[in-house]
Structure 1
Amino acid sequence: MRRNPIYQLHKKLFTLRFVLTADTKTEATSKNNDSCEDNSVLSERQLIRIEAVHRGFLYQHLYAAICLLMAGPNEVERVIVERDEDIEIVLPGRRVYVQVKTRVGSLNPSDIKGALQRFEEIRSEHTKGKRKGSASFIIASNAEPSTPLFERASSKDWPDDVQLHWPDGPAQEEVFLPSPPRNVWEAVSACSQLAGDLPFALLKPETLTWKLASMVMFASAGTPPRQDHSFSREELPQLFEQLVIQMQELPAPPPNYRTQLDEPMLLGDQKVRIISGLSGAGKTAWVAEAATHAPIPVTYIDVVDTPGPALASAVTREVAGRMFGRSSGKLGEILLPGASGIDMLGALSVKLGEEGLHAHIVIDNAHRVPASDIEVIVDRAPNFRFLLLGQPGFEISNLEARLAIQAETLHGWDEDTIATAIHDAGCQANFNDCERLARLTGGLPFYVLNAAAVATREYGGLIRDFCEEVEAQTHLVETAQEIILRRTFEGLPPDARETIAILSLADIALTRDEAIKLLQATCDLDVRASSARLRTLPRTGALELFGTSGLKIHDAVRIHGLAELAGQGNNLESKAKAALLEILTVSIRKDWTIAKLGLLIRLFGQLGNAKILVEFATNELFHEMGVWPEIEPFLISIAASVGEEAGTRLWALDGLVFNDLRDGNFEPAHDRIEEMQTLIDTGSLGVDEWLAWGMKKMLLKSMQREAKGVEELLAIVEKRLPAKSEHMRVFRYNRALALFNLGDNLGACTAASQLAEDYYEELGISPGDLIGRNAPQLSPLLPQDRDLTDTLKHLADTLDLLAQATGGKSASTAAVRIQAMKFYQLANAFDSLLRVGLDLVDDFVWINDFIGARQILENNIFPVLQGVGLSSRVLETRALYAVVLAYCGDHEAASKEVEQLKPFEKAMVPEQRLAFQEQKQIIERVRVFGGPRQREIYVPEHMQAIFSERRGAANALEPRKKVGRNERCPCGSGKKFKQCHGR
């Protein structure tokens, strides 16, 4: 009879213990005579039986896990566990039933009697047609058959469709089934080996093995969603990837992680801890490895580019998104409209406390943020557990003093661990050699592994010779590390150097698929060989892994890789660039970034694709991406090339003139417009080229205040303008812009206002539709049947012009700029979005709403600036931020922001340098004499809803009252007014 399923489920639940015992009765019963009384059992025989049951079930689960790993390449449609048989393999037109047996000795006829009877029942079902396809049966055992069983299996009356499988038995016909392992440990090893061969798997093979075994046990119990006890072929890749996603939320740990000396615990009850160490100490690798085994979620955030006062907003955004990202209701209680970053952080901490939770967050590069800002978020978030990673220095010492704690350190590898690591790399060293290497590298894992790679290739594996040469070349740690990195690259095998060289072309993270395709196309490799090359790189320290799929050559190594690629000759370099260009062209359509666009442009230019570069340059949105420095040299070359077509040269000049006018460079713009006219005079170009020239010339004359020339060109352009609405609207905008440039603000305002109405009508919305809606909420209201990018950008430009032409700083100009920002965001016109956003900050500062100005910077501008990476706007944004901080009374933060910007001062353009110097004077005057009082401006009723988007409805409607000295400061710090902004 079939075993009772309830009894089986009861037994399987005990397999969670994963009791790994020896496979012989002698080993199982061997006891230490001196063992304490607590380890004794009432019945050793009963213990042996219990261990045997668990061992049998664990062996069966591991066998099934191996079947799952073998299913993909062998056309297995479905793997079923614990239904009619231990394991059922469903193939096209065929079903294989597997009975798994584990025995200490031989497998006897009595052991399989019940299985053969069950096979007969199943066979009958197939014969009668109640089950589709043919049936065959396997008895898989870790024990070889006894002589009686072997003779019976060889006899004529043995069923033809029943086979015996055992270790070292006859060759198996079923390639989808493993050869039975001898014991549990061998089963683990076999499963891990298969897991290690999975393409693109970032999990450690052993981790994946135990995950799969546990999921087999889960399915064996028939627990939803696996009531059918089965795994289908189609879901296997997703199943394996699901495990990767679950385990790889932080940077991926090294493939072979070795524990450092006296490693601290990742999680603890302390409210805040500091881990301090030099770059290369393995802080991030330690966090990544420890988080893999953490029983609760850990949030990781790198604050290297986050201004200190904006840290609270960044931390709140990261933690709330991770813990409550799918619960809009809970997020609504945390991300309160108009709340400051520190208030939102406090609300998030309260919400965690209400649910009995603690948020564990790792802040990397904590030394790049002022200690005072970290102290603030620690004080306001009692239900957070902070782990701060940073490099030794003033800020870390300041943190220790402010938080009354002592930083912990990662001590690196001790001599024993170093000896193990270099031995595995094929090196040899005595204890003194390891001690010298520990001194040379500080025991830091990255540099130890690099040293081992160099020694293996260049010094015959002798660590002593390696140390002597390095010590002779330098006495500075920094220089020693540079030498080690260079030596490491030169000491790598040719295949590894070639792989690094090819991947070094990409200064952005590629996906695993993209990296493999690049190697395939460049080196004529197949997927397996390309994957094998990639798998060898992380251990060298040359390859960085990002999340579950991103990878990139370490920046410190790329310079060596590019030199290696150049040394291989033009053929390989050109082939690699062409392959990368093709990959990026596909990738950028799915997931574009500024960095990816910049790399794509460089590749187009290096490969001589002039027409594509010109198309980029003549697209207005291209100038919004901050990648102009990447393309300008190529366009200058194209415009000057007499071998290029006249149209290509003209459009290259058009792009150059467009940027000249944006930057106010009139002289080069004039010369290039004259070159455009020369090309037009050849008579080979069309109306579009003439209009481009005419518009640019008219705008230049308007910016130079030549009113008569503007009038003449406007009349000529209007006559030759095609009778199309889009051409007419562009012409009307340029005419309004020309009026503004000539000082006719009223005329420009009227023209821009009428044009904006036409654009709104074209989009089928009204300004009232924008009230209470952010850009993503506005998108569904727009037409969905065509590309609106240019229309949205032109409407935003028109609204921006309207705000400028209106003049002054007021609620009305601020409202128009808010509208413009929404349309710029929808059009992905990020540079204009940030520019108008900074103008909006000026509006708020002008009306003394400094808190509102700070909120715009922290909640709207900095996230865009950091997410998109527009470096051209960083300095002016941070300089303005410092002024706003000073007006808000946060003088320490303002002063530190200024100090961080001072090193850039000499490199600023003259206008920006002058503005920064004036801003420094403002900050100093406000610190010494105080600034204007924060106040609320009366807002007309019809504008209150718009202002509530920035300040909250209550603040827009209620005038600010005088704050008592013992009342809480309205800035949200939680301190009394007399101890904060009332000082």
Structure 2
Amino acid sequence: MCLLLAGAARVQQIVVEGDEDVEVVLHDRRIYVQIKTRIGKLAAGDISGALERFNDIRAKHANGDRPGVPSFVIVSNAALNGPLEKQLASADWPKDVKLHWSDGPELKEECLPHPPRDLADAVSKCSELASQLPYALLRPETLTWKLSSQVMLASAGSPPRKSHSFSSAELPELFEQLIVQMQEMPAPPTVYRAQINEPALLAEQPVRIIVGLSGAGKTAWVAEAAQHTPLPVTYIDVVEMPGPALASAIAREVAGSMYGRSTGKLGEILLPGASGLDMLGTLSVTLGKEGLHANVVIDNAHRIPATDIEAIVSRAPNMRLLLLCQPSSEVAALEARFSIQAEALSGWDEDTIAAATHNAGCIANFADCQRFSRLTGGLPFYVVNAAAVAARDYGGSIESFCEDVEAQTHIVETAQEIILRRAFEGFSTDVRESVAVLSVADVALSKDEATKLLQGACGLELKGAAARLRSLPSTGALELIGMTGLKIHDAMRMLGRAELTTRGADLEKKAREVLRGIIMRSIREDWSIGKLNLLIRLFGQLGDAMILVQFATDELFHEMGVWPEIEPYLLAIAADEAAEAGIRLWALDGLVFNDLRTGQTETGETRIDAMKALLDEHDLGEDEWLAWGMKRMLLKSMVGDAEGVDEMLGLVQERIPAKAEHMRVFRYNRAVAFFKLGDNTTAIAEAAQLVEEYYDVLGLTPEDVIGRNPPQLRPFLPKDRDNTDQLKHLADTLDLLAQAAGKKSQRSTMARIHAMKFYELAQAYSSFTRVGMDLVDELVWVNDFESARYAIERNIFPVVQAIGLTSDVLELRALYAVVLAYCGDHQAAANEVRRLAPYEQAMAPGHREAFQDQKQIIENVRRYGGPPQRRVDIPASLQALFDQRSGVRPTIEPRKKVGRNERCPCGSGQKYKRCHGR
């Protein structure tokens, strides 16, 4: 702002980061400005150091070491606290020192702006001043960001600002130069949303390639990034340009951008009759003499032959080319010629998609945004267009839109389909068939697995399938994942699925059957939630009802976040009157299990009655009756019907097999029923006894568990059997014990920590996350906020991230925001709340109310402060949890700020500045 005010105020020079933050040099005086940014009020202690420095500077002026009369200004966004107000009004306050704050009186210095309240206010005021300059071709926001970049260079003393200063004589050229740099650059979107791990616009390499499908946001990324770089960037779109003309175009645009205001330079570079390459060579030499490089962005570079690009690079070593390309054979040729690897824009993450769909008037939860990302590839243009379609034709429901598109029953075409179909229809028949077959997999396959899928579905020999696979990368339809994985690009899969449908039911069925076998083998070697989701869908599509029912009645499958995939098939089986009664009952059993797990008692009661009707009408076995009896007993306890619980306990106990394992399961459910009825004493006694028995069954003692993480505990388990059920049951019982014992209890803390370890051993990740959040709640309850933060960042987030759970993500992140606020990291807490806000409308009512309460807590802690951090040593039991992954004991001291370039502690794998520090 000082730069923009300098001309009218007749400022001679502005210095940044010299003796003071800003120094304004006038004809006969010098103003020293110290800037203070605070969340709370400004206190005397905040400015004591500045006043001492002012004394030293004042003495240098008095001794004649510096010309002019000094004056001093302290500016702040924060108002003064009471003691500082009194100090300012006192008689001994220095007459040449003025305090200036956002809501304070106006300072009568036309060369200094009124202090902004925050960064957004500063940008707004700068843009307002910039709009008054007589250069209408330049957007005010663009000038603001470009000047900000120049000031950053000067603050660091970087060339060409080694002196840290700006003189009044160069200001017109500085403003005019920026117009020249930006006038050819496309305007960025009004609202720009960053993509995942965006690459830097400027780099040292002579040639870089950014590759992405049409709609990936390449041009928008360049336009936005160019606003924030201090160096000139020349943009050239070669969509209609022949290759031989490119050298001339680059020479003309770069020379005009960098030397258009310099007398004689253009005449030396743009010689009459010289070829484009000759002019480019002369320009490169001129740049080299001045120690400069020209940064050139070439859009649609895939349309230019690789030989023409190579000629430019060889003649102009002081040019740095950034090539924006769509996938094509020319990209592969460019990579080979320059021995480089193309970079890609990775699309929007779920939070960004949520924000974009929310702005379009849509409703989506985290799982919906993940699904939407898979359909659109997360590519910005496709996301925005599809959201507009969902808002217009699906009542704003992203879930409904996704269901329709995945079933290929939607009527309105999206821009994604229209744009990509042009490329798809240009593929050969064999390539289209290969894309169609590979589109049945939405997880990465290995090269061998993809080859086998093509062989089995298309009836090809090994060599033929391998040849087809090799031809796909250059089309852009195939996405390479890491070093060994590949899959059809998410944005292209929609067209592949449609193509598969047109080729007949036989090919579609064959492709799914072959893929089912491949995934069943793969999942044994490298398990993932994505593969399990795909396998469940394949079982459902191929009519394997009994397998799906077995999944649904296994508690562990409810732990892995795959319930949304199973539920539609179970509903269909349960409603199919032609199906076997036993299969229908077990389908209902799986549905009831989820109803009771999620508290849907009315729906659960209806389905339990349907189970009883099947038992009455058909000759089913004892296992089926016990499944009904246990569920009805638990339902009665959840609705507070103590008499109904007693009745069912008696009936079930009469029919339960007299085996230890069956009796332990019965006793656990009985303890749960007592807990639901409010009889915590009985529940604790029964749970404690069961815990001892499960420890004995597993050959463990509680002492074995303390200080050991799950991998270290595994060797202690029995080797001659599968221990998964016992591990899960022990964890469930420990969780019950913790819930019945309540908060502020050493017993409940120990029980939760041990439960988390056994849930992890049993791969019961949903319960692991839920109990982890209970533990965090307990730590917050006793004011141990640093331990709560550590538990989320180092234990819960990594598991959720690695497994890909979606059901608890939003609840966990909302809890994390509260913990951040209690830890004093208010900006991080506010950022997390801002990213969660677009999901709020789609949250379940209970979760939405909790989130609203959490937002109020965060605001109250920010305004009034929270309770002090509990200063105690970490209990040995809690230390055992912390040691699970880090092996390093955390200290209960104020947490150091995470470095912007460090990995984010949430476990995303991204840098902090691009994740929770954004």
TM-score scaled to structure 2, two decimals? Answer: 0.55
Distance in 1 (CA, whole Å) between partners of 2:804 and 2:383 is 34
2:67 counterpart residue number: none
Distance in 2 (CA, whole Å) between partners of 1:408 and 1:748 is 71
Cα-to-partner distance string for 1:416-446 (whole Å, 9 max, x where unaligned): 9984999xxxxxxxx9xx9996699996212
Local SS of the residue matching 1:545: strand
Local SS of the residue matching 1:931: coil
Change (3 A) 1:833 1:945: closer
Counterpart residue identity of residue 834, structure 2: E
Distance in 2 (CA, whole Å) between partners of 1:740 and 1:842 is 20
State the Cα distance separating 1:408 from its structure 2 match: 9.8
2:426 counterpart residue number: 491
State the Cα distance separating 1:550 from its structure 2 match: 0.7
1:742 counterpart residue number: 677
1:155 counterpart residue number: none
Distance in 1 (CA, whole Å) between partners of 2:594 and 2:543 is 22
State the Cα distance separating 1:477 from its structure 2 match: 12
The answer to whether structure 1 residue 603 and structure 2 residue 603 are counterparts is no
The answer to whether structure 1 residue 882 and structure 2 residue 817 are counterparts is yes
2:702 counterpart residue number: 767
The answer to whether structure 1 residue 521 and structure 2 residue 456 are counterparts is yes
Cα-to-partner distance string for 1:541-595 (whole Å, 9 max, x where unaligned): 1101123321100011000100111111111111111111111111111111111
| Structure 2 counterpart of 1:506, from 417, 424, 441 | 441
Distance in 1 (CA, whole Å) between partners of 2:730 and 2:507 is 47
State the Cα distance separating 1:596 from its structure 2 match: 0.6
Local SS of the residue matching 1:505: coil
Local SS of the residue matching 2:867: coil
CA contact (8 A) 2:226 2:233 kept: no
Distance in 1 (CA, whole Å) between partners of 2:482 and 2:302 is 33
| Structure 2 counterpart of 1:973, from 894, 897, 908 | 897
1:590 counterpart residue number: 525
2:726 counterpart residue number: 791
CA contact (8 A) 1:412 1:445 kept: no
CA contact (8 A) 2:382 2:416 kept: no
1:555 counterpart residue number: 490
Distance in 1 (CA, whole Å) between partners of 2:536 and 2:792 is 30
| Structure 2 counterpart of 1:662, from 569, 593, 597 | 597
CA contact (8 A) 2:759 2:768 kept: yes
State the Cα distance separating 1:520 from its structure 2 match: 0.8
Cα-to-partner distance string for 1:266-312 (whole Å, 9 max, x where unaligned): xxxxx9x9xxxxxxxxxxxxxxxxxxxxxxxxxxxxxxxxxxxxxxx
CA contact (8 A) 1:799 1:819 kept: yes
Change (3 A) 1:392 1:856: farther
1:693 counterpart residue number: 628
Counterpart residue identity of residue 611, structure 2: M
Counterpart residue identity of residue 365, structure 1: I
Cα-to-partner distance string for 1:649-687 (whole Å, 9 max, x where unaligned): 110000000000001111111111111111111342111
Change (3 A) 1:476 1:789: closer
TM-score scaled to structure 1, two decimals? Answer: 0.52
Local SS of the residue matching 1:495: helix
State the Cα distance separating 1:491 from its structure 2 match: 1.2
| Structure 2 counterpart of 1:909, from 829, 841, 844 | 844
Distance in 2 (CA, whole Å) between partners of 1:407 and 1:551 is 38
| Structure 1 counterpart of 2:504, from 569, 574, 585 | 569
Change (3 A) 1:485 1:706: same
State the Cα distance separating 1:364 from its structure 2 match: 8.7
Change (3 A) 1:364 1:754: same
Q: Which has the larger radius of gyration?
A: 1
Structure 2: segments with no counterpart, 5+ residues: 1-155, 159-193, 201-209, 247-275, 277-296, 305-321, 334-380, 386-413, 900-918
Change (3 A) 1:855 1:526: same
1:444 counterpart residue number: 324
Change (3 A) 1:805 1:395: farther
C-alpha RMSD of the superposition? 4.2
State the Cα distance separating 1:480 from its structure 2 match: 8.1
| Structure 1 counterpart of 2:196, from 331, 354, 365 | 365
Distance in 2 (CA, whole Å) between partners of 1:618 and 1:840 is 28
Local SS of the residue matching 1:552: strand
Distance in 1 (CA, whole Å) between partners of 2:422 and 2:447 is 27
Distance in 1 (CA, whole Å) between partners of 2:548 and 2:606 is 21
Distance in 2 (CA, whole Å) between partners of 1:623 and 1:475 is 33
**Number of corresponding residues:** 555
Change (3 A) 1:451 1:762: closer
Distance in 2 (CA, whole Å) between partners of 1:368 and 1:727 is 58
Change (3 A) 1:552 1:943: closer
Change (3 A) 1:417 1:527: farther
Distance in 2 (CA, whole Å) between partners of 1:475 and 1:656 is 36
- Over the matched positions of the two proteins, sequence identity in percent amounts to 55
2:179 counterpart residue number: none
| Structure 2 counterpart of 1:860, from 795, 813, 825 | 795
CA contact (8 A) 1:584 1:596 kept: yes
CA contact (8 A) 2:637 2:645 kept: yes
Change (3 A) 1:498 1:951: closer
Distance in 1 (CA, whole Å) between partners of 2:245 and 2:560 is 46
Counterpart residue identity of residue 753, structure 1: A
The answer to whether structure 1 residue 934 and structure 2 residue 869 are counterparts is yes
Distance in 1 (CA, whole Å) between partners of 2:383 and 2:759 is 50
| Structure 2 counterpart of 1:807, from 737, 742, 747 | 742
Distance in 2 (CA, whole Å) between partners of 1:896 and 1:734 is 42
Cα-to-partner distance string for 1:235-293 (whole Å, 9 max, x where unaligned): xxxxxxxxxxxxxxxxxxxxxxxxxxxxxxxxxxxx9x9xxxxxxxxxxxxxxxxxxxx
1:704 counterpart residue number: 639
Change (3 A) 1:475 1:508: closer
State the Cα distance separating 1:486 from its structure 2 match: 2.1
The answer to whether structure 1 residue 622 and structure 2 residue 557 are counterparts is yes
Distance in 2 (CA, whole Å) between partners of 1:503 and 1:409 is 41
| Structure 1 counterpart of 2:575, from 637, 640, 650 | 640
Distance in 1 (CA, whole Å) between partners of 2:527 and 2:886 is 34
Change (3 A) 1:409 1:546: farther
Counterpart residue identity of residue 915, structure 1: A
1:923 counterpart residue number: 858
Local SS of the residue matching 1:871: coil
Local SS of the residue matching 1:681: helix
Structure 1: segments with no counterpart, 5+ residues: 1-270, 274-362, 370-387, 423-430, 454-473, 961-968, 976-983
The answer to whether structure 1 residue 724 and structure 2 residue 659 are counterparts is yes
Counterpart residue identity of residue 730, structure 2: L
1:535 counterpart residue number: 470
Distance in 2 (CA, whole Å) between partners of 1:421 and 1:599 is 50
CA contact (8 A) 2:302 2:331 kept: no
Change (3 A) 1:945 1:854: closer
Change (3 A) 1:445 1:641: same
Change (3 A) 1:420 1:840: farther
Distance in 1 (CA, whole Å) between partners of 2:603 and 2:732 is 24
1:756 counterpart residue number: 691
The answer to whether structure 1 residue 869 and structure 2 residue 804 are counterparts is yes
State the Cα distance separating 1:399 from its structure 2 match: 10
State the Cα distance separating 1:482 from its structure 2 match: 6.4
Change (3 A) 1:439 1:551: closer
State the Cα distance separating 1:484 from its structure 2 match: 3.9
CA contact (8 A) 2:238 2:299 kept: no
Change (3 A) 1:495 1:755: same
Counterpart residue identity of residue 446, structure 1: Q
Counterpart residue identity of residue 444, structure 1: L
State the Cα distance separating 1:406 from its structure 2 match: 4.8
